[in-house]
Amino acid sequence: MRGPSSLIGRYLRRNAIQKGLMGRSRLWMGVLGLGALTKAISKVSKSGPGPILFSESLAEGAAIEIVHLDPLPTRRQRRKARKAQR
């Protein structure tokens, strides 16, 4: 079950979108803008390094190789490839 603060946030966000964007209420547009600004500031202001995802001691002479794989094809690329096969 969610806490009361997340329920209030969800209520405010839903009303801000429905009444502000779709209903053109200036008050709810302001609530939506304030919520978006608050979320953006909290993302930017996070300080320090991220969490440690993997940690292991290496033996003498051991090495780690980190490889970046090619990204998966986008939906557009898959569609074009499927069209070319026909």
What confidence tens digit (pLDDT) does each residue in 43-84 have?
A: 888 777 778 888 889 999 999 888 889 999 999 999 999 999
Q: How many CB atoms lie within 10 A of CB 68?
A: 5
Candidates 2, 37, 30; CA nearest to 16 is 30
3-state secondary structure of 9: helix
Q: Note the pLDDT of residue 1.
A: 54
- The residues spanned by each domain of the chain are 1-45
What confidence tens digit (pLDDT) does each residue in 9-50 have?
A: 899 999 999 999 899 899 999 999 999 999 899 888 877 777
